[in-house]
A = this chain, B = another copy of it.
């Protein structure tokens, strides 16, 4: 996968929640629907709360609900919060000094891929998805 597992999970959870963005989702329901392990999902949800995407409601009948409008959350925001978008902005051959002015042998070719990736994850937001298919595992 291009993204890390954790980014993949974060996007999977948040895009699942975006289908009905004003309701509260319990950890249990998300775990059963999306087949992500209990403790791993809970830890990730705590992280996403701290980053301001969602808020958690503790105690009996608690769960998670969006704290920010899904329309305000781009995929790039989520990836950046979870694993850092910087991972995806560097030289494909790993040369630190590579730049537009000082390009590596593959720079111009690769920039096109990178721009496509970045523009897509920046423009795609959680409210603008095709909800005809919502997978549950």
Contact = CB atoms under 8 A, between A and B. Distances in A.
A69 interface: no
Interface string A1-30: 111010011011001000000000000000
A132 B107 CA distance: 11
User: Which of A8, A11, A105 neighbours the largest number of chain B CB atoms within 10 Å of its CB?
Assistant: A105
Which of A93, A95, A130, A134 has the largest number of chain B CB atoms within 10 A? Answer: A93
Interface residues of A, number: 41
- How many monomers of this protein are in the complex? 2
A75 B112 CA distance: 15
A97 interface: yes
A132 B87 CA distance: 26
7 contacts: A3-B92, A15-B106, A95-B135, A103-B130, A104-B133, A105-B131, A117-B117
Interface of A: 1-3, 5, 8-9, 11-12, 15, 75, 87-88, 90, 92-95, 97-98, 102-110, 112-113, 116-117, 120, 124, 129-135
